[in-house]
């Protein structure tokens, strides 16, 4: 699971948005620089991203399920909410670690790495929201938003 | 910026529950230590319970191969972790369960102090040699594994001075360390036959008897051809130790090179007298016994207790098993790139050479190694001549770890810096071989007739390398690889 999320966030090694050192920190490289035995943040943040995105999707489509929130622009509002929250979560956790110096002293971590990981998480949450809100099979359980996607109505 | 901190704090609190069990273990360990800068019994037991209850990978490193908790590993990890968190705790601050101490078999300690005329210069009124010997004998008397302490002079034969020496006897022995008492003790004081002395000592060394030999170790060829004499001594010493190893396969030798003020007459290799020499000169303390006896002495920290310290130490032991010291491939510094996924298993994957202009085409990495469990002197591991690499295309540099506050290096004694320009898939073996260290050769004189004028000669010992080579070759025959310790690192591109 760790490597699954790692390859997602590292964009399969094609367009890394942050350093390899940040990748190792998020895999759980421990403070004594020995092994991947610290908290595997990739897994936790990956699951948080999925759950949070799913919850906000459910909020728009199934909890609120309102005719006042079923336009394309509303889809974008919820999408931006998902992007913002997921960015903040993925930025804040390594940023806190960085500020506290709570990491292996041989890793070169910078604030731009935290921003890069935040963007990566935000992008994947957006893609996930895009996918789940595009599948008619899931949307059809909504009364007022069953036709709401990022391109319509 | 304050808003970011606030939001970050809220999120951190929100996500606190996401920490792994190992992360919670770390938090608890930190909280316990922050409390009173100590880990009490109750706190330690609570940490151990967490290790017991979890099967997370982080906890596996704190267990032995049979899955039982290894308290040494737990304490070592905690110290590393506290070091990383900038908490100055030592192992004494962490409560540890008492390990059952097996009472080692006691043995006699037989001290042989050379009383040849060449030693007279060391035993002047204000000699540091005398106080060092006095302190050493007192420490040996206090040594819990010592059954009885027997004090002897030695030249052509051992001359018993005190059998089962008491503290008063040691005091008396110390007071009698002077040329006139040496003379009255008897024996042939005019020349030094080190080989004969060593043979007598070896005959007295076994699992019940540890020998301590104190001598200046200066050969006396007299009017003989010096080269022939030294070659003969080498061959005889080699023969003596080879035979001794046959009867006592567990034989071990430690040689300490110490320095003391020498005031008096120096006899060069022609036995010509050089009067009124007043300089610091080396002398040697040999410990000859079984590896168990030597290990007990090391555990007692006898060498650290030696007054005025020692300049060099040499440990010569029979090679039974090739030891594998603990090591850790360092995340950084590195030349080129590699993946860290299997570093903890000693495997470098995805290795590639550097593309930087300064180090283009090179690949390099550092390995931290813990040689502290070895009886050998730490300086021995600094000399790259004592290493054999399976791939000669790698260059090696070795440094001692002095930064005690670096968590990444905590628990390790040396850094091996490896570098190559020909990177390939391989298992790189780093062998530490048993041989006479370089200080033996720099301490050897082949002509000591100019001792008055040549300052470097004053710090040397005539023919010393023949003596040590004779012992080393008996333990580490040149026809063998003589690997004492070995480290293997797998490198994959």
Are residues A31 and B341, on separate chains, in Cβ contact within 8 Å?
no
Question: Residue A132 falls within a domain, yes or no?
Answer: yes
Q: Which residues contact B117 (CB under 8 A, 6 or more apart)?
A: B179, B182, B189, B190, B265, B267
* Chain B residues within 8 A of A99 when measuring between CB atoms: 8
**Residue A110 sits at the chain B interface (C-beta within 8 Å):** no
Average per-residue pLDDT for chain A: 90
* Mean pLDDT score, A57-83: 87
* Chain A residues within 8 A of B408 when measuring between CB atoms: 32-33, 104-106
Helix axes A111-132, A72-100, angle to 10 degrees: 150
Are residues B61 and A95, on separate chains, in Cβ contact within 8 Å?
no
Which pLDDT value is given to residue B17? 56
Are residues A32 and B330, on separate chains, in Cβ contact within 8 Å?
no
* Chain A residues within 8 A of B406 when measuring between CB atoms: 105
**Residue A67 sits at the chain B interface (C-beta within 8 Å):** no
* Chain B residues within 8 A of A31 when measuring between CB atoms: 26, 81, 84-85, 407
* Chain A residues within 8 A of B336 when measuring between CB atoms: none
Which pLDDT value is given to residue B40? 86
From residue B128, give the alpha-carbon distance in Å to each of B260, B281, B302: 6, 11, 18
d(CA A148, CA A151): 8
Beta strands in B75-230 (DSSP E): 107-114, 146-154, 158-162, 209-215
What tens digit of pLDDT does each residue of B248-302 get?
A: 888 999 999 999 999 888 888 787 888 888 889 999 999 999 988 998 888 888 8
Helix axes B464-475, B226-247, angle to 10 degrees: 30
Question: Residue A117 falls within a domain, yes or no?
Answer: yes
Nearest C-alpha in A relative to B20: A39
Residue B219's pLDDT band, with cuts at 50, 70 and 90, is confident
Are residues B58 and A29, on separate chains, in Cβ contact within 8 Å?
no
Is the pLDDT higher at A70 or at A33? A33
- Cβ burial, residue B267 (10 Å; 0-12/13-18/19+): buried
Classify B447 as helix, strand or coil: coil
Is the pLDDT higher at B449 or at A45? A45
What percent of chain B clears pLDDT 90, i.e. is strictly above it?
37
Cβ atoms of B128 and B306 within 8 Å: the answer is no
What tens digit of pLDDT does each residue of A89-116 get?
A: 999 999 999 998 889 989 999 999 999 9
Q: What phi and psi, each to the nearest 5 degrees, are found at residue B312?
A: -145, 155
Cβ atoms of B219 and B463 within 8 Å: the answer is yes
Tell whether the torsion through CA atoms of B198, B204, B205 and B209 is positive or negative. Answer: negative
- Lookup: tokens for B319: 């090679």
What tens digit of pLDDT does each residue of B49-65 get?
A: 888 888 887 888 788 77
Question: Residue A112 falls within a domain, yes or no?
Answer: yes
Q: Is the pLDDT of residue B103 over 70?
A: no
- Enter the ipTM: 0.74
Half-sphere exposure of B61 (CA within 13 A, CB side): 17
Residue B429's pLDDT band, with cuts at 50, 70 and 90, is very high
Question: Residue A85 falls within a domain, yes or no?
Answer: yes
Q: Which residues contact B211 (CB under 8 A, 6 or more apart)?
A: B109, B110, B111, B112, B201, B202, B204, B205, B286, B287, B288, B289
Report the residue of A49, A104, A106 to disrupt the B interface, i.e. the one with the largest count of B CBs within 10 Å.
A106
Smallest Cα–Cα separation from A117: which of A5, A37, A35, A36?
A5
Peptide bond into B346 cis (omega under 30): no
* Chain A residues within 8 A of B23 when measuring between CB atoms: 38-39
**Residue A96 sits at the chain B interface (C-beta within 8 Å):** yes
Question: Residue A153 falls within a domain, yes or no?
Answer: no
Nearest C-alpha in A relative to B6: A92
d(CA B268, CA B284): 18
Q: Is the pLDDT of residue B18 over 70?
A: no
Nearest C-alpha in A relative to B343: A35
- Lookup: tokens for A40: 């595997």
Report the residue of B4, B11, B345 to disrupt the A interface, i.e. the one with the largest count of A CBs within 10 Å.
B11
Is the pLDDT higher at B9 or at B91? B91
Domain containing A113 equals 2-139
* Chain B residues within 8 A of A40 when measuring between CB atoms: 20
Question: Residue A81 falls within a domain, yes or no?
Answer: yes
Q: Is the pLDDT of residue B45 over 80?
A: yes
Question: Residue A150 falls within a domain, yes or no?
Answer: no
Cβ atoms of B464 and B395 within 8 Å: the answer is no
- Lookup: tokens for B66: 């049979």
Q: For A33, which of B18, B77, B407 is closest by C-beta distance?
A: B407
Q: Is the pLDDT of residue A26 over 50?
A: yes
d(CA B438, CA B257): 13
> How does DSSP assign A40-97, residue by residue?
-HHHHHHHHHHHHHHHHHHIIIIII--GGG-SHHHHHHHHHHHHHHHHHHHHHHHHHH
Q: Based on DSSP, count helices (H) and strands (E) in chain A, helices before strands.
A: 6, 0
Q: For A39, which of B7, B19, B330 is closest by C-beta distance?
A: B19
* Angstroms from B373 CA to nearest CA on chain A: 20
d(CA B368, CA B442): 29
- Lookup: tokens for B83: 């070091």
Smallest Cα–Cα separation from A42: which of A23, A14, A55?
A23
* Angstroms from B211 CA to nearest CA on chain A: 43
d(CA B106, CA B146): 6
* Angstroms from B173 CA to nearest CA on chain A: 52
Which pLDDT value is given to residue B13? 52
Is the pLDDT higher at B72 or at B2? B72
* Angstroms from A39 CA to nearest CA on chain B: 5
Angle formed at CA B77 by CA B73 and CA B83, multiple of 5 degrees: 150
* Chain B residues within 8 A of A33 when measuring between CB atoms: 328, 330-331, 407-408
Smallest Cα–Cα separation from B350: which of B213, B205, B490?
B490
**Strand pairing category for B327-335 and B363-369:** antiparallel
Beta strands in B27-122 (DSSP E): 107-114
Are residues B408 and A40, on separate chains, in Cβ contact within 8 Å?
no
Angle formed at CA B466 by CA B463 and CA B472, multiple of 5 degrees: 145
Residue B1's pLDDT band, with cuts at 50, 70 and 90, is very low
What percent of chain A clears pLDDT 90, i.e. is strictly above it?
54
Count of domains observed in chain A: 1
- Element spanning B4, H or E: helix B2-15
Q: Is the pLDDT of residue B409 over 80?
A: yes
Scanning the structure block, which residue is given the tokens 């104190």? Answer: B214
Cβ atoms of B315 and B468 within 8 Å: the answer is no
Q: Is the pLDDT of residue B4 over 90?
A: no
Nearest C-alpha in A relative to B340: A24
Which pLDDT value is given to residue B467? 92
Helix axes A72-100, B2-15, angle to 10 degrees: 90
Half-sphere exposure of B353 (CA within 13 A, CB side): 13
Which pLDDT value is given to residue B101? 43
Are residues B343 and A31, on separate chains, in Cβ contact within 8 Å?
no
* Chain A residues within 8 A of B15 when measuring between CB atoms: 44, 48, 89, 93
Q: Is the pLDDT of residue B14 over 70?
A: no
**Residue A38 sits at the chain B interface (C-beta within 8 Å):** yes
d(CA B312, CA B485): 21
**Residue A98 sits at the chain B interface (C-beta within 8 Å):** no
Q: For A32, which of B12, B84, B343 is closest by C-beta distance?
A: B84
Q: Is the pLDDT of residue B208 over 70?
A: yes
Residue A50's pLDDT band, with cuts at 50, 70 and 90, is very high
Output the pTM of the full model: 0.77
Tell whether the torsion through CA atoms of B328, B330, B331 and B335 is positive or negative. Answer: negative
Nearest C-alpha in A relative to B16: A93
Average per-residue pLDDT for chain B: 86
**Chain A to chain B Cβ contacts (< 8 Å):** 91
Nearest C-alpha in A relative to B85: A102
Report the residue of B1, B2, B8 to disrupt the A interface, i.e. the one with the largest count of A CBs within 10 Å.
B8
Rg of chain A taking only CA atoms, in angstroms: 18
Q: For A39, which of B20, B332, B408 is closest by C-beta distance?
A: B20
**Residue A115 sits at the chain B interface (C-beta within 8 Å):** no
Q: For A92, which of B8, B19, B407 is closest by C-beta distance?
A: B8
Question: Residue A151 falls within a domain, yes or no?
Answer: no
């Amino acid at each position: 699971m760790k490597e699954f999320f790692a390859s997602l966030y590292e964009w399969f090694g094609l367009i890394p948005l942050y350093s390899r050192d940040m990748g190792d920190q998020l895999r759980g490289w421990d403070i004594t620089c020995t092994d991947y035995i610290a908290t595997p943040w990739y897994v936790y943040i990956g699951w948080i991203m999925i759950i949070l995105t799913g919850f906000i999707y459910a909020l728009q489509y199934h909890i609120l399920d309102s005719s006042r929130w079923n336009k394309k622009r509303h889809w974008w509002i919820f999408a931006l909410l998902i992007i913002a929250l997921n960015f903040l979560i993925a930025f804040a956790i390594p940023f806190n670690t960085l500020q506290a110096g709570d990491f292996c002293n041989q890793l070169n971590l910078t604030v731009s790495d935290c921003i890069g990981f935040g963007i990566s998480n935000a992008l994947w949450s957006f893609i996930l929201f895009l996918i789940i809100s595009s599948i008619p099979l899931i949307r059809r359980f909504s009364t007022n938003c069953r036709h709401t996607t990022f391109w319509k109505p | 910026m304050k808003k970011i901190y606030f939001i970050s704090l809220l999120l951190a609190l929100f996500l606190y529950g996401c920490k792994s069990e190992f992360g919670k273990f770390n938090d608890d360990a930190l909280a316990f230590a922050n409390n009173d800068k100590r880990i009490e019994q109750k706190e330690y037991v609570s940490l151990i319970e967490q290790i017991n209850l979890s099967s997370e990978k982080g906890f596996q490193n704190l267990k032995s191969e049979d899955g039982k908790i290894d308290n040494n590993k737990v304490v070592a990890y905690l110290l590393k972790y506290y070091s990383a968190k900038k908490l100055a705790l030592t192992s004494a601050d962490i409560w540890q369960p008492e390990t059952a101490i097996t009472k080692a078999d006691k043995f006699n300690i037989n001290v042989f102090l050379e009383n040849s005329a060449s030693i007279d210069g060391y035993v002047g009124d204000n000699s540091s040699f005398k106080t060092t010997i006095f302190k050493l004998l007192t420490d040996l008397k206090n040594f819990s594994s010592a059954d009885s302490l027997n004090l002897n002079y030695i030249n052509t034969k051992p001359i018993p001075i005190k059998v089962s020496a008491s503290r008063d006897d040691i005091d008396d022995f110390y007071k009698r360390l002077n040329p006139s008492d040496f003379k009255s003790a008897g024996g042939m004081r005019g020349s030094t036959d080190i080989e004969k002395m060593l043979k007598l000592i070896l005959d007295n060394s076994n699992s019940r008897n540890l020998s301590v030999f104190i001598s200046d170790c200066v050969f006396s060829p007299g009017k003989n051809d010096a080269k022939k004499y030294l070659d003969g001594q080498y061959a005889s010493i080699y023969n003596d130790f080879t035979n001794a190893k046959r009867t006592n396969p567990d034989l071990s030798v430690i040689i300490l090179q110490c320095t003391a003020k020498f005031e008096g007459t120096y006899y060069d290799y022609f036995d010509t007298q050089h009067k009124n020499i007043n300089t610091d000169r080396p002398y040697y303390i040999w410990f000859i016994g079984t590896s168990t006896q030597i290990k007990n002495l090391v555990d007692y920290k006898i060498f650290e207790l030696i007054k005025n310290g020692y300049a060099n130490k040499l440990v010569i032991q029979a090679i039974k098993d090739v030891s594998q010291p603990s090591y850790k491939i360092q995340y950084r510094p590195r030349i080129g790139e590699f993946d860290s996924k299997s570093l903890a298993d000693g495997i470098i994957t995805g290795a590639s050479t550097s593309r930087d202009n300064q180090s283009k085409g090179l690949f390099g990495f550092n390995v931290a190694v813990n040689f502290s469990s070895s009886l050998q002197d730490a300086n021995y591991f600094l000399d790259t001549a004592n290493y054999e690499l399976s791939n000669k295309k790698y260059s090696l540099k070795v440094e001692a770890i002095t930064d005690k506050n670096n968590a990444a290096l905590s628990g390790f004694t040396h850094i091996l810096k490896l570098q190559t320009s020909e990177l390939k898939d391989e298992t790189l073996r780093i062998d530490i071989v048993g041989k006479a260290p370089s200080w033996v050769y720099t301490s050897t004189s082949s002509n000591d007739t100019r001792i008055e004028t040549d300052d470097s000669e004053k710090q040397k010992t005539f023919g010393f390398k023949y003596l040590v080579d004779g012992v080393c070759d008996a333990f580490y025959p040149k026809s063998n690889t003589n690997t004492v310790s070995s480290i293997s690192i797998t490198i994959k591109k």
